Amino acid sequence: MHPLLDSLLAQHGDMARLIGLLERQPSLEPDPDAPHVGLLVDVMVYLTHFPDVSHHPLEDRLADRLLARGALDADLCRELQAQHPRLEQQGPALLRDMEGAMRRETVPLELVALNSRLYAERLRHNIALEELVLFPKADKYLDEDDWQAIAAIHAPASDPLSAGVVDQRFERLRRAIARQADCGC
């Protein structure tokens, strides 16, 4: 498997763990000042920054390349690529709603909890579709010229959660992921 695919799969693993944290953490109710709320906000800050800016565009380039090679159905390519803008719109809106609820503004806590579950489910669906369809096809049909072209078009930013270079903002999040994975990393 190409190292770029290995990297995307590892990032999916982290995102899946974050989705799990998002789902397992108590919601903002009944106390939006509770200590777990900071972790929820960190999850959303990460999910609305790194994947939207670096991870998803790289997957879109994979889909474009596969489509050009005739190895990916056009409707499926459109569906995959339509999921990313939906996530890119929903994530920041959810983060704003979380922050508004924490400030006890007009956003009902129940709506934030519902939208949080919907966002997590959409992200989980996106990951599953990519791992079931996009990545296997990329592994099978793309050659070294394709990978070089993809890398030339899009140089991915480093993942702020990756083991060697954890961004200070996400240290607590990395520890939570490690506890959840029981990996000691």
CATH pick for 3-181 out of 2.40.160.20, 3.40.50.2300, 1.20.120.520, 2.40.50.100: 1.20.120.520
Alpha helices in the chain (DSSP H): 3-24, 36-50, 56-68, 74-102, 109-129, 135-141, 144-153, 171-181
Model-wide pTM > 0.75: yes
pLDDT > 70: what percent of the chain? 76
Contact 114, 94 (CB under 8 A): no
pLDDT digits (tens, 9 = 90+) for 57-110: 999 999 999 999 999 999 999 999 899 999 999 999 988 888 887 777 777 777
